[in-house]
Amino acid sequence: MELGLFWLLDSKPLNEHEVARELGIPPSRCHYWLQLLCTVGLLERGSGGYQPSSAAHTAILEVYSQGSWALLAQEARERLPSLCDLPSHLHEPRSVWQALGLTPPMYLSQMTEDPNRARRFTRMLYELHEPLAKQLAEFLDLGGVARLMDLGGGSGVVSLALLRRYPDLKVTVIDIENVCAAGREIAAEHSLADRITYHPCDFLCEELPTGFDLVLECDVNVYSEDLFRKVWKALNPESRFVVVDQLAPAEGVAPPSRVHWAFEGSLASPDFAFPTAARLRDLLTRAGFGDLSQDPLPSPAGSCRRMTQGMVVIEAYRQVR
């Protein structure tokens, strides 16, 4: 994924010597590597050389772009150390990373310190969230909403879909500075920069801007009573807070599509858990919200189900204290 092999061979079949030369890999090692990829069904060898298999087309080339796959693969590689030598460390009552003398990757810090990483990450999430954004734009009724805050909205992918449906809507995306910079580029590319504002903010530590008719938190998975109280202050009276996420079906049970994330999270923190809808409703009530409702987000057919399946939409209104 990171070397771009599938895209290289999709443009033109190559033999092992040509691949070795293009990627700078020792020829004998490259030959065995290509044979291995054939064995697991990702490559095929024909008379013209190696090329992606039908499985690689379906699962890789037709799903995300080369840039998105490269970053997803890089992040998986960065998490790999915690999965090494598990028989010796799975019983650890503390962090497996700590037991190995390692520090888990801190993605927020990485993106804060590295504008290029933030740009790649933001564009990757834009691509991954496009199906969810389209589905959510069709599902949500924003009648009467003039100003919307997209909390932790990253690229603004959901907001951009909502702006296309609601021509009078104005949006403010809240995220860290480097992510906001990447989001502004994307908004300009879609000719919507005049209706969307990117507001740099560490919303866990800083106060939020105010005067919004709706606050949306979509697939952010950052929840606390303190944050919800900030959201309450950001909303106009009787306005809505909408949370969209894949939540745990029960305490200690991971959402079906996020079991791998839950397991990796437990290696860093043994008590890691995804929140349940009941937990979120309790936090919302304590923060001053009422008239709560909960609905599943309908999933489209086909490959788009990957990012939308199991999504729940919780809506709550700011009550006057």
* 145 in Cβ contact with 213 (< 8 Å): yes
What are the boundaries of each domain within the chain? 5-62, 107-318
CATH of 107-318, one of 3.40.30.10, 3.30.9.30, 3.30.70.100, 3.40.50.150: 3.40.50.150
As a whole number of angstroms, the distance between CA 244 and CA 294 comes to 10
Strand order in the sheet with 289-296: 196-200, 170-175, 147-151, 212-218, 235-246, 311-318, 289-296
Q: What is the pLDDT of residue 304?
A: 52
- Report the pLDDT averaged over residues 144-167: 97
Q: pTM for the full model? A: 0.91
Question: How many CA within 13 A on the CB side of residue 43?
Answer: 28
Task: Give the tens place of pLDDT for each residue, 60-88.
Answer: 999 999 999 999 999 999 999 999 889 99
> For residue 147, is pLDDT > 70?
yes
Q: Which pLDDT score, from 0 to 100, does residue 315 have?
A: 98
Question: What mean pLDDT value characterizes the chain?
Answer: 95
Return the pLDDT at 152.
97
Which tens digits make up the pLDDT trace of 276-315?
999 999 999 999 999 999 999 987 765 455 566 789 999 9
Encode pLDDT of 222-266 as tens digits: 999 999 999 999 999 999 999 999 999 999 999 988 999 999 999
Q: Radius of gyration of the chain from Cα atoms?
A: 22
Which residue type occupies 7? W
Q: What is the CATH number of domain 5-62?
A: 1.10.10.10
Here the tokens at position 280 are 């979120």
Please write the tens of the pLDDT for every residue from 87-145.
999 999 999 999 999 999 998 899 999 999 999 999 999 999 999 999 999 999 999 99
Q: Say what the pLDDT of residue 275 is.
A: 94
CA dihedral 204, 296, 269, 283 (to 10 degrees): 50
3-state secondary structure of 199: strand
Q: Where are the beta strands (DSSP E) in the chain?
A: 43-46, 49-52, 147-151, 170-175, 196-200, 212-218, 235-246, 289-296, 311-318
Give per-residue pLDDT as tens, 14-55: 999 999 999 999 999 999 999 999 999 999 999 999 999 999
Distance, in Å, from the CA atom of 18 to the CA atom of 31, rounded to the nearest integer, reads 10
HSE (side-chain half, CA atoms, 13 Å) at 121 = 22
